[in-house]
């Protein structure tokens, strides 16, 4: 539970320091440039883009592309805008993140504090989940979802993401709890706390940093997932990423680049927000897990 301190930097001279800042600034701008172009173009009428002024500031500021992307743009055959799909994504990502985090925490708790035979082997096998490429599971997963009767639904997608996310969430919590003093668990046992009481009253309240890490990681991955969304939930249950693709590919005449840009920013918004709100805990939590393990 140590927190990474900031005072480990080596003292450098003024010249070196200036060089470092300029260097970092240039790269920051380089990475921010595409985003800037997106924002600018989402705020101008289509004619300004088609006339070749991609980089210029809008002459005629407008939020019409945003409104169109949100509620009226053509997604596939329906002119619904991205709104229903945004809610699809929310309905998928919130339960999927919550369930995979809680299960990961439970797994980590059992793997470190209730050791059993072959627990390290089991953990090793669970780690495979982090490295198995998505494509491999597509067909078996499609069959299972079909058998369960939840193919093509948001529920199905939640299941897929929970199963896929467990590897990482277990890894995070196991490493975090490995550094958690076992004497505390023993003390709680003597105090008469049961399996879930120890988890709920002792471990979870001390798991703040690693919960943040897990939530950010899972949220970003699940929100940004396209492959599972496109494979298992096309149509009315499609998540935001799939809808964005459909928005860009649905041409009813001219391609409305400004609307596409606005849609893309909407699709990226939630993950950006999560990073900005909880990002600093992300690095801390990662460090806390890795110092002892």
Partner 1 sequence: MGFLDINGVTKAYGAVEVLHHVDISVDEGEFLVLVGPSGCGKSTLLNMIAGLEGITSGDISIKDTVMNGVHPSKRNIAMVFQSYALYPNMTVGQNITFGLEMHGTPKEERERKMREVSQLLQIENLLDRKPGQLSGGQRQRVAMGRALVRDPDVFLFDEPLSNLDAKLRVDMRTEIKKLHQKLGTTIVYVTHDQIEAMTLSTRIAVMNKGYVQQLGTPKEIYDNPANVFVATFMGSPAMNVLPTKLEDRNGALHAVLSGAEGQEVILRIDDAPAAYGAYKGREVLLGIRPEAITDPEGADRNARNIQSLTNIVGVTEPAGADTFVTMHVSKRDCIARMRADADVHPGRPFEFAVNMDKAVLFDPETENRIG
Query: Of the ranges 91-99, 198-206, 209-217, 219-227, which one interacts with partner 1 (CB under 8 A)?
Result: 198-206
Per CB under 8 A, the list member of 34, 140, 192, 253 interacting with partner 1 is: 192
Examine residue 149 and tell whether it contacts partner 1 (CB under 8 A): no
By beta-carbon proximity to partner 1, the closer residue of 207 and 241 is: 207
CA distance 50 to 65: 14
Compute the least distance from the CB of residue 183 to partner 1, in Å.
4
* 3 state DSSP class of 76: coil
Instruction: Work out the angle at residue 277's Cα, subtended by the Cα atoms of residues 272 and 281, and round it to the nearest 5 degrees.
Output: 110
Query: Of the ranges 28-36, 191-199, 217-225, 282-290, which one interacts with partner 1 (CB under 8 A)?
Result: 191-199
Examine residue 179 and tell whether it contacts partner 1 (CB under 8 A): no
Examine residue 184 and tell whether it contacts partner 1 (CB under 8 A): yes
Per CB under 8 A, the list member of 206, 220, 224, 234 interacting with partner 1 is: 206
**CA separation, residue 200 to residues 113, 204, 216, 291 (Å):** 14, 5, 21, 24
CA distance 222 to 89: 9
CA distance 97 to 78: 29
By beta-carbon proximity to partner 1, the closer residue of 82 and 210 is: 210
Compute the least distance from the CB of residue 29 to partner 1, in Å.
42
Examine residue 181 and tell whether it contacts partner 1 (CB under 8 A): yes
CA distance 48 to 57: 10
Sign of the Cα pseudo-torsion (14, 15, 21, 25, in order): positive
Examine residue 178 and tell whether it contacts partner 1 (CB under 8 A): no
Examine residue 34 and tell whether it contacts partner 1 (CB under 8 A): no
**CA separation, residue 180 to residues 176, 190, 196 (Å):** 7, 18, 17
CA distance 146 to 255: 36
Compute the least distance from the CB of residue 286 to partner 1, in Å.
20
Which positions touch partner 1 (CB under 8 A)?
1, 181, 183-184, 186-193, 197, 201-202, 205-206
């Amino acid at each position: 539970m140590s927190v990474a301190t900031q005072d480990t930097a080596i003292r450098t001279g003024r010249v070196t320091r200036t060089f470092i800042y300029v260097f970092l600034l240039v790269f920051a701008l380089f990475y921010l440039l595409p985003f800037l172009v997106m924002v600018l173009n989402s705020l101008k009428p289509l004619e300004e883009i088609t006339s070749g002024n991609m980089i210029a500031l809008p002459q005629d500021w407008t939020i019409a592309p945003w409104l169109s992307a949100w509620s009226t743009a053509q997604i596939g055959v329906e002119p619904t805008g991205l709104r229903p799909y945004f809610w699809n994504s929310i309905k998928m990502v919130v339960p999927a993140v919550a369930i995979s985090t809680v299960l990961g925490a439970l797994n980590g708790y059992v793997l470190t504090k209730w050791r059993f035979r072959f627990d390290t082997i089991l953990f090793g096998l669970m780690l495979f989940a982090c490295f198995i490429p998505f494509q491999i599971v597509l067909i078996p997963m499609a069959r299972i979802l079909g058998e369960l009767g939840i193919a093509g639904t948001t529920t199905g997608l939640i299941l897929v993401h929970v199963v896929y996310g467990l590897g990482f969430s277990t890894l995070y919590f196991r490493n975090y709890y490995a550094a958690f003093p076992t004497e505390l668990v023993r003390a709680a046992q003597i105090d008469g706390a049961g399996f879930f009481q120890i988890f709920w009253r002792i471990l979870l309240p001390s798991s703040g940093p690693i919960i943040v890490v897990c939530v950010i990681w899972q949220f970003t991955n699940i929100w940004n997932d396209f492959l599972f969304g496109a494979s298992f939930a096309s149509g009315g249950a499609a998540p935001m990423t799939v809808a964005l693709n459909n928005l860009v590919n649905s041409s009813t005449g001219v391609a409305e680049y400004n609307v596409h840009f606005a849609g893309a920013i909407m699709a990226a918004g939630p993950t950006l927000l999560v990073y900005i709100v909880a990002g600093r805990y992300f690095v801390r939590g990662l460090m806390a897990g890795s110092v002892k393990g």
